[in-house]
Amino acid sequence: MHSMTLSQAIRDALLIGDKRAKVMKTRRLVRDYRLGRLTPVFDVTMPDHPAWPGNLDVRPPGQMPKRGRGGSERNRIALWHSLAHIEFVAIDLALDIVGRFGGQMGPDFIADFLAVAADEAMHFALIERHLATLGATYGDLPVHGGLWQAAQETAHDAGARLAVVPMVLEARGLDVTPATLERVRAQGDSRGAAILERILDDEIRHVSAGSSHFDALCRANGKVPEKHWKMLVKRHFRGSLKPPFNDSARLAAGLPREFYAGVA
């Protein structure tokens, strides 16, 4: 029997729209790769857009309904639904970065970002289960397409992808999650708080993987990481970097203040 290549398995996972099947396939693919069942060969191209659940109402970021801040059932569902979407897209982002750039970046990069993919699949499953306790499910509310847009903007450059996805978008999670965590705790939702603590811990590791591989790529190409990052973010990131920044979590993830202070 021919062993399947890693890139084929990744492409297959990206093209699964069903949320549970995507989670299962991602977990299995990561396990299979670790067990040596998938060869690290990059012989197929990645799709421009992954498959998402058929009932998902995807809108441009500007056309999203405003989310309330209070502790009403509706606001709580909206919060957890938006978190579910972030984690669901994060599965595809982690798979895509490996499928697209793994051949160029090498085995440590592949291992690190497959670990990220497995984490995101677990986060999504935890959040989906939590949504169910609120009587809701992923797909009940509209979601925005902004995260995948960032992937499309950086599809041809590993450095740009690392600069924007882990080092801007995921790092943003480090800034906003603590406040969300406090809010969830104040609502007396201890299970939700535990999920967010877990996610925050894991995200520090994900941003750290992004910044260390970005650093290595810059050094290999004779570029100054901080300067190169600023240039790439300016060129490829549509949003703005706005404080407050979680400086301690960012520093733990290898993003010192000098990086983003001048850009914000």
Among candidates 172, 27, 13, which has minimal Cα distance to 97?
13
The pLDDT value recorded for residue 259 is: 85
Instruction: Give 110 or 261, the one with higher predicted confidence.
Output: 110
The pLDDT value recorded for residue 264 is: 61
Question: pLDDT for 128-146, tens place per residue?
Answer: 999 999 999 999 999 998 8
The pLDDT value recorded for residue 1 is: 47
For the CA atoms of 82, 88, 94, 95, the dihedral, rounded to the nearest 10 degrees, stands at: -160
Report yes or no: 223 and 231 within 8 Å, Cβ to Cβ: no
Question: pLDDT for 190-206, tens place per residue?
Answer: 999 999 999 999 999 99
Percent of the chain with pLDDT over 70: 98
pLDDT at 2 over 60: no
pLDDT at 212 over 70: yes
Give the chain's mean pLDDT: 94
The architecture of the domain spanning 73-261 is Up-down Bundle (1.20)
Give residue 67's pLDDT band: very low, low, confident or very high (50, 70, 90).
Answer: confident
Q: Report the alpha-carbon distance of residue 221 to residue 211 in Å, rounded.
A: 15
Which ranges of the chain would DSSP assign to H, the alpha helix? Answer: 6-14, 19-34, 73-105, 107-133, 146-153, 158-164, 171-186, 190-220, 225-236, 247-252, 257-261
pLDDT at 23 over 90: yes
φ, ψ of residue 58 to 5 degrees: the values are -95, 125
Percent of the chain with pLDDT over 90: 86
Give residue 180's pLDDT band: very low, low, confident or very high (50, 70, 90).
Answer: very high
Q: Is 255 exposed, middle or buried (0-12, 13-18, 19+ CB in 10 A)?
A: buried
Q: Is 209 exposed, middle or buried (0-12, 13-18, 19+ CB in 10 A)?
A: buried
Question: pLDDT for 79-128, tens place per residue?
Answer: 999 999 999 999 999 999 999 999 999 999 999 999 999 999 999 999 99
Domain boundaries, the chain: 73-261
Average pLDDT value for residue range 36-63: 94
Report yes or no: 50 and 120 within 8 Å, Cβ to Cβ: no
Instruction: Give 75 or 61, the one with higher predicted confidence.
Output: 75
